[in-house]
């Protein structure tokens, strides 16, 4: 990591340490799974934890669980009566997610849903979200945002991951018409910058995080 990204390494060395359980999950993810970079990782995980601690949310929604790393970070800041709902489309990941949620002592507070997000969200229409983390298929960022925004309380926070998309969203990057994901991320970022329903801050942390505070 020091050779590949010294700035990232420096940032991690000057952030609170990665909790042991999450460090174990990071090692397991890199050894056993393809595309381990999909996990939030140390510095992003500590940011998610801090934002959650500052908000003390009662209801958190995560779209795209992967191994559960981000879910565990977000759950650190839950209010005493808080619950986190997380949606994962791949059933092969369920056992690992549940194992780490149990190891964190959060089995009663983290509710895992296996299935397509747009279908699971239909079962959660009575919820009001304090904090939403969207980290699933990028082509559907806008779809997920529109599905949940009316359930986010005023002042609530939405966080969207991978909004830099490897730098492909930058104006001088040549994008082919067939690159639907990049075009979708670009369009979503532009829409959020102009959407009166939210205030936005774009953070170039790792692959980019977009923070949206609901105002209306």
Q: Say what the pLDDT of residue 1 is.
A: 39
CA gyration radius for the chain? 17
Average pLDDT, the chain: 93
Q: Which residue has the tokens 């056992």?
A: 95
Report pLDDT for 34.
65
Instruction: Round to whole Å and give the CA distance between 113 and 185.
Output: 25
What is the distance in angstroms between the CA of the first residue and the CA of the last residue of the chain?
42
Measured CA to CA, the distance from residue 29 to residue 31 in angstroms comes to 6
CATH 3.30.70.890 assigned to 47-214:
no
pLDDT in tens, 162-207: 999 999 999 999 999 999 999 999 999 999 999 999 999 999 998 9
pTM over 0.85: yes
Backbone angles phi, psi at 37, to 5 degrees: -65, -10
Query: Between residues 51 and 31, which one has the greater pLDDT?
Result: 51
Name residues whose C-beta falls within 8 Å of residue 109's C-beta, 6 or more positions apart in sequence.
75, 78, 82, 83, 84
pLDDT for res 4 = 63
Task: Compare 29 and 87 and report the one with higher pLDDT.
Answer: 87
- Supply the pLDDT for residue 30: 83
Kindly give, in sequence order, each residue whose CB lies less than 8 Å from that of residue 46, ignoring residues fewer than 6 positions away: 15, 16, 18, 73
Q: For residues 34 and 105, which has the higher predicted lDDT (pLDDT)? A: 105
Task: Kindly tell me if the per-residue pLDDT of 2 is higher than 60.
Answer: no
Q: How far is 168 from 180, CA to CA, in rounded Å?
A: 12
- The residue ranges of DSSP E strands in 53-208, in sequence order, are 59-63, 83-88, 110-114, 129-134, 152-161, 198-203
Q: Which residue has the higher pLDDT, 5 or 4?
A: 5
Average pLDDT in the 103-118 region? 97
Per-residue pLDDT averaged across 104-113, rounded? Answer: 98
Question: For residue 36, what pLDDT is reported?
Answer: 65
Q: Are 109 and 78 in contact (CB under 8 A)?
A: yes
Is residue 35 over pLDDT 90? no
User: ∠ CA 47-50-51 to the nearest 5 degrees?
Assistant: 85
pLDDT at 37 > cutoff 70: no
- Grade residue 6 by pLDDT with cuts at 50, 70 and 90: confident
Average pLDDT of the segment spanning 29-53: 85
């Amino acid at each position: 990591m020091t050779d590949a990204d010294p700035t990232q390494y420096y940032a991690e060395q000057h952030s609170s340490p990665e909790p042991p359980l999450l460090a174990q999950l990071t090692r397991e993810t890199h050894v056993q799974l393809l595309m381990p970079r999909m996990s939030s990782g140390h510095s992003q995980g500590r940011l998610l934890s801090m934002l959650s601690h500052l908000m003390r949310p009662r209801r958190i929604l995560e779209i795209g669980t992967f191994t559960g790393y981000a879910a565990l970070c977000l759950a650190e800041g839950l209010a005493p009566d808080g619950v986190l709902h997380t949606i994962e489309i791949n059933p092969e990941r369920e056992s690992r997610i549940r194992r780490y949620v149990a190891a964190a002592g959060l089995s009663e507070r983290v509710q895992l849903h296996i299935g397509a997000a747009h279908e699971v969200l239909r079962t959660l229409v009575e919820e009001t979200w304090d904090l939403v983390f969207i980290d699933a298929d990028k082509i559907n960022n806008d779809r997920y945002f529109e599905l949940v925004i009316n359930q986010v309380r005023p002042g609530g926070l939405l966080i969207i991951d991978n909004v830099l998309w490897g730098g492909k969203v930058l104006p001088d990057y040549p994008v082919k018409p067939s690159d639907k994901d990049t075009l979708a991320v670009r369009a979503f970022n532009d829409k959020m910058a102009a959407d009166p329903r939210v205030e936005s801050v774009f953070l170039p942390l790792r692959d980019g995080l977009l923070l949206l505070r609901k105002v209306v």
